[in-house]
């Protein structure tokens, strides 16, 4: 099983500033990496797939990068609606054994 590790567990950032979230895979997943945003009481929302491709209707302030085992989600100029929990998910293997990171909580500083 590919283990996904996110850091930090909690990130405190002021509105208008930039946030950088990290995700590490226990083995290479190439670019088979997605990022999701989840707000309390809501379902996850797909932000990024293919490590760097924004999903439909996702604002340009969200960007993803990385490949292999190291990945980053960057959010430039944080808006109030961006404070949430973020998960990474790998989908490298076939047959599928999709695994998620434990999440990073992005909170207002």
Applying CB under 8 A, the span of 15-23, 61-69, 73-81, 97-105 interacting with another protein comes to 97-105
In the complex, least distance from residue 102 CB atom to another protein, rounded to whole angstroms: 5
Cα separation, 90 vs 109, whole angstroms: 29
Cα separation, 1 vs 60, whole angstroms: 33
Size of the site for another protein (CB under 8 A): 25
Print the binding letters for residues 52-81 with another protein: x by CB under 8 A, - otherwise: ---xx-------------------------
Cα separation, 15 vs 108, whole angstroms: 7
Cα separation, 57 vs 12, whole angstroms: 26
Which 38-57 residues touch another protein, going by CB under 8 A?
A: 38, 42-46, 49-50, 55-56
Q: Fill in the DSSP letter of residue 88.
A: E
Binding residue for another protein (CB under 8 A) from 10, 70, 102, 108?
A: 102
Q: Fill in the DSSP letter of residue 81.
A: G
Q: Which is nearer to another protein, 16 or 81 (CB)?
A: 81
Give yes or no for residue 2 binding another protein (CB under 8 A).
Answer: no
* CB 48 within 8 Å of CB 59: no
């Amino acid at each position: 099983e590919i283990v996904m590790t996110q850091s930090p567990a909690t990130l405190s950032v002021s509105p208008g500033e930039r946030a950088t979230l990290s995700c590490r895979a226990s083995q290479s997943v190439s670019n088979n990496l997605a990022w999701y945003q989840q707000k309390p009481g809501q379902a996850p929302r797909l932000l990024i797939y293919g490590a760097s491709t924004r999903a439909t209707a996702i604002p340009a302030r969200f960007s993803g990068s990385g490949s292999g085992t190291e990945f980053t989600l960057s959010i430039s100029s944080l808006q109030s609606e961006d404070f949430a929990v973020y998960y990474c998910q790998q989908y490298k293997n076939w047959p599928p054994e999709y695994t998620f990171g434990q999440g990073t909580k992005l909170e207002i500083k």
